Structure 1
Amino acid sequence: MNGTTNNQRPALWERMSFGFGDLAGNALFGITGAYLIYYYTNVYGISASSVALLMLLARVVDSVVDPVIGYLIDHRILFGGRVRPYLKWFSLPLGFLTFCCFLPLPLGAGGRLAWAYATYLVMGVLFSLVIVPYGLLPNVMTRNREDRLSLSTFRMMGATLATFLVGSSILPMVHLFGGGNEKLGYPLAMAVAGAVGGGLALIPFFTCRERYELEANDSPVQVLLGSLFHNRAWVIVTIVLSLFYINLTAFYGLSIYYATEVLHRPQYFGGLLISMMGASKVLGVTCSPWLARHVGQKLTIVLPYILSAMGLALFAYGPNSAAYLVAVFGLICFFQGMTLPVFYAMVADSIDYGTAVTGVTASGMAYSVNSFAGKVAWAIGGSLSAAILGWGSYVPHAATQTHTARAFITFGFLGVPACVALLSVLIILLYPSEAEMTRILQPETPVEPQSI
């Protein structure tokens, strides 16, 4: 990675503005994760099996698109190797396509399915064109590991704030604009969300500075990919971060079903749980740098994940009291929030670690494949949520669901995240030690640890 003429560290305001990118990205992609399955099955009349297939097909498309974007960045084919211009050109189209995903065109069964497939697949491509370059910004903004953790903290503040907003504002907007008519309420609510999200995604383009250039690399794709899979740190953090997305889609995709069919509460209680997830994760994110400085990055993932798995058991077997459920779910999400800045700081570090140990610079490919893996996991989680409904013989609009359907919903909403947490603990223990990472990724100059 080549230096530029200005090697100043990112100021506080610049690090804060960086977080708006994931506020936008998480809001737009989170909306599809939280509400699109419900919209497709209960509002637009598409079968759960067709939705599950769509989620997997979208990731097949991503398997081509994401590495192509990484290749474009590594070979400087677009924008001279800069990453910020991608945000300029693709942020607003991403917001528009998010709106289109919820636009119920009056078509027949085949036409509805084709419209859903077309809009969701294009939305996924545009998301890649925004989120892959955005994710590489820390690598061109700073080489300092403390700064990268700080950038990741603000990024995750934005992401968790997006979760809160997705849970607290979307359904009220649907009801406000639709007056009980969800076919009217959803597109109007998504028009607002798409416009705001697309605008927010532009903020890092205007405020963040690229202080370092990504080195041009003329190596063929197979060499770039080969270097990634010889990068132990990158492989491990990619797997664990992908597992996190499966956990997230379980919470997003099944919260309404769990609230209405298992807890026998109104839909808004599912939205309340999502809102609590966002608010609690913000608190966890703010505590993450403090914990990482005291116990290291690996234990900042291990300890909170163990505690969150214990919290899921308390949630499942505790009383059906609104106050109890909201409080315990908030505690679960607080612990999970503590892991998030560390995940993304590890991604940035692992990219430079790979360059040091393999001698191959593959920054664009590394982040694009990492992003692709996360979206595959998101698709697996979304498809798994839809499949769980089918396996449990869930019947939309039924007055009451069978015991089997409720059991499957409970497993999807609570059991899957618990399994993800425990599996992640085992895998992250294989990540290089703090001493090894510090030895290989020496900062340019000694710096004192700083707060976010």
Structure 2
Amino acid sequence: MSSIITEVSLREKVAYGCGDLSSNLMWGMTSSYLMFYYTDIYGLPVVAVGWILLAARIFDAFCDPAIGYIIDRKGGHIVPRLIRNLAVVFGLLGCLCFLPAPFSSQGKILWAMLTYTAFGAIYSCINTPYGALGTMMTRSARDQVDLNAFRMMGCQGGQFIVSLLTIPAITWLGGGASMLQRQHGMALYAMMLALTATLLWRYVGRVCITRYPPPPVRHSPMAMLHTLTRNRSWWICNALVFLQFSGLAALYGFALYYAHIILRGSDELGSILLTVATIAGFTGAIICPHGVRLLGVVGTALTCLVTQVAAYILLVLAGSSIPFFFGAFVTLTLAQGIASPLYYVLLTHAIDRGRQASPPNTAGVAYSINTLITKISMGITGFILAGFLSYGHYAVGVSTYPAELQHWVMAGFVWLPMGAAALQLVFLALWPWGVVLRPKTACSLS
């Protein structure tokens, strides 16, 4: 084949990054603002919010493996078509999550649970094939690093838009700061994001080429799962991703509460925190391939994790000092941004090695379970964070907060994710070093 067919073009890399850009316009809204929307704008009880976040993830336990199995049974050629066909449904359900239906208190809880659960299901059905798409586009380790760097830049780009615009947009679109006005503004804003996300997903499905689509697999689900259970690297990747997303869920889910309760700031300060985190994460994704060239994939990841643990300690020492806090916060989020693409590079590598070691192709199931792990992690973390707010007796609209609540917010924003980062160091040390991607196989973004 010609180089035009075998090499991944810059246009495709950008298009692939648009998938995570689209995801994070809506999924980023749910990870950064959904808890805040439920408690402070839609008026749901904190305890109910925790159960909603957890119940939606339990339902996803059935959706992710199911769509992964369908991909493996139908073959890789179905992936771009699946992404194109589900784009509109993804946008519609994402919009409904932030539609403030005028029901009773119990009706609001039921509406929130149904819409968020449905959105999580469609997210599984579109994001799982998107994750598997990367390994079907290329076999080159260099292109895999580049694709996942563009993916993380798209992820951070979506988070940047959400972080920077959400708070001012809902006030401006709603025409004021009352609860009803903010509900109206949030609904309009979510509608605009949903339309953009739909168009971006369509672009991904049209531009990205599956050069190495796996053939349809006729093995039973049990045989495919048995193949995966023998893949040690895949198990390590799942553990790493669970812990990584636990830290990210704590960061983005609790940033607004930390700004209010610890830093004594406003909603706007929380928005600034999320924006700074996104800019630092985007910068980290750009730096990532250069770090891999110098230290290798695992070496770069280890360095970033040690930096994160140190940065969390500095956050504790910073207290309410905003300049000190921001220095530690930028260091933390930059390290997270550099590390983020590496987990997907390691996952791709683990799946490729599994394919070589055992005949059944399990890419779809492997990615679907990995996606499931990320959402279970976020669901459990969200449930824990909501519990922290409940234990601290969080109330909307008060001017002073009890010391007990400050301790719980610090636990959710700092201690919980710091523990997750430390555990990642343990699991990464178990990675089979004899099969680590070498620095020479990676390059800078082309």
Category of TM-score, reference length = shorter chain: over 0.9
Contact 1:51/1:386, CA 8 A, preserved across alignment = yes
Counterpart in 2 of 1:192?
192
Contact 1:4/1:212, CA 8 A, preserved across alignment = no
Structure 1 ranges of 4+ moved more than 3 A: 3-7, 319-324, 446-452
Matched, 1:90 2:86: yes
Counterpart in 2 of 1:176?
172
Matches of 2:279 and 2:36, distance apart in 1: 23
Within 5 Å, give how 1:406-445 maps onto structure 2.
406-433=406-433, 435-437=434-436
Moved more, 157-166 or 362-371: 157-166
Contact 2:15/2:204, CA 8 A, preserved across alignment = yes
Deviation at 1:450, TM superposition (A): 5.4
Residues 145-188 of structure 1: CA deviation (Å, up to 9, x unaligned): 11101100000011111222111011110111112121222111
Counterpart in 2 of 1:270?
270
Q: Where in structure 2 are there 5+ consecutive unaligned residues?
A: none
Residues 96-152 of structure 1: CA deviation (Å, up to 9, x unaligned): 211111111111112111111111111011111110011111111101111101100
Counterpart in 2 of 1:401?
401
SS at match of 1:83: helix
Matches of 1:382 and 1:375, distance apart in 2: 10
SS at match of 2:423: helix
Matches of 1:12 and 1:205, distance apart in 2: 16
Matched, 1:253 2:253: yes
Of all paired residues, the percent bearing the same amino acid is 28
Deviation at 1:14, TM superposition (A): 1.3
SS at match of 1:132: helix
Counterpart in 1 of 2:39?
41
Contact 2:289/2:444, CA 8 A, preserved across alignment = no
Deviation at 1:292, TM superposition (A): 1.2
Matches of 1:74 and 1:425, distance apart in 2: 32
Matches of 1:29 and 1:89, distance apart in 2: 19
SS at match of 1:212: coil
Which residue identity does 1:34 align to in structure 2?
S
Which residue identity does 1:405 align to in structure 2?
L
Counterpart in 2 of 1:443?
none
Counterpart in 2 of 1:112?
108
Contact 1:75/1:81, CA 8 A, preserved across alignment = no
Contact 1:74/1:81, CA 8 A, preserved across alignment = no
Within 5 Å, give how 1:281-320 maps onto structure 2.
281-318=281-318, 320=320
Equivalent residue for 2:62, pick from 61, 64, 79: 64
Deviation at 1:232, TM superposition (A): 0.7
Counterpart in 1 of 2:97?
101
Which residue identity does 1:100 align to in structure 2?
L
Counterpart in 1 of 2:363?
363
Equivalent residue for 2:19, pick from 14, 18, 21: 21
Q: Decide whether aligned partners of structure 1 residues 217 and 391 sit closer, same or farther in structure 2, where only a CA change above 3 A counts.
A: same
Q: Decide whether aligned partners of structure 1 residues 438 and 283 sit closer, same or farther in structure 2, where only a CA change above 3 A counts.
A: closer
Contact 1:167/1:272, CA 8 A, preserved across alignment = yes
Matches of 1:258 and 1:6, distance apart in 2: 50
Counterpart in 2 of 1:10?
8
Counterpart in 2 of 1:392?
392
Which residue identity does 1:347 align to in structure 2?
L
Contact 2:13/2:150, CA 8 A, preserved across alignment = yes
Which residue identity does 1:38 align to in structure 2?
F
Contact 1:138/1:151, CA 8 A, preserved across alignment = yes
Which residue identity does 1:173 align to in structure 2?
A
SS at match of 1:296: helix
Matches of 2:344 and 2:332, distance apart in 1: 20
Residues 240-265 of structure 1: CA deviation (Å, up to 9, x unaligned): 01211111111111111111111111
Deviation at 1:4, TM superposition (A): 12
Contact 1:22/1:201, CA 8 A, preserved across alignment = no
SS at match of 1:211: coil
Equivalent residue for 1:75, pick from 57, 73, 79: 73
Moved more, 3-12 or 421-430: 3-12
Within 5 Å, give how 1:323-334 maps onto structure 2.
323-334=323-334
Residues 177-208 of structure 1: CA deviation (Å, up to 9, x unaligned): 11212122211111111111222222211211
Matches of 2:30 and 2:443, distance apart in 1: 38
Q: Decide whether aligned partners of structure 1 residues 27 and 448 sit closer, same or farther in structure 2, where only a CA change above 3 A counts.
A: closer
Residues 39-70 of structure 1: CA deviation (Å, up to 9, x unaligned): 11222222112111111111121111111101
Counterpart in 2 of 1:210?
210
Contact 2:20/2:155, CA 8 A, preserved across alignment = yes
Counterpart in 2 of 1:442?
none
Contact 2:141/2:441, CA 8 A, preserved across alignment = no
Equivalent residue for 2:153, pick from 157, 166, 173: 157
Matches of 2:233 and 2:338, distance apart in 1: 20
SS at match of 2:74: coil
Matches of 1:224 and 1:5, distance apart in 2: 34
Deviation at 1:229, TM superposition (A): 1.7
Which residue identity does 2:358 align to in structure 1?
T
Deviation at 1:322, TM superposition (A): 3.4
Counterpart in 1 of 2:374?
374
Which residue identity does 1:335 align to in structure 2?
A
Deviation at 1:215, TM superposition (A): 2.4
Q: Decide whether aligned partners of structure 1 residues 67 and 448 sit closer, same or farther in structure 2, where only a CA change above 3 A counts.
A: closer
Which residue identity does 1:187 align to in structure 2?
A
Which residue identity does 2:164 align to in structure 1?
S
Matches of 1:221 and 1:230, distance apart in 2: 15
Deviation at 1:7, TM superposition (A): 4.7
Deviation at 1:235, TM superposition (A): 0.7
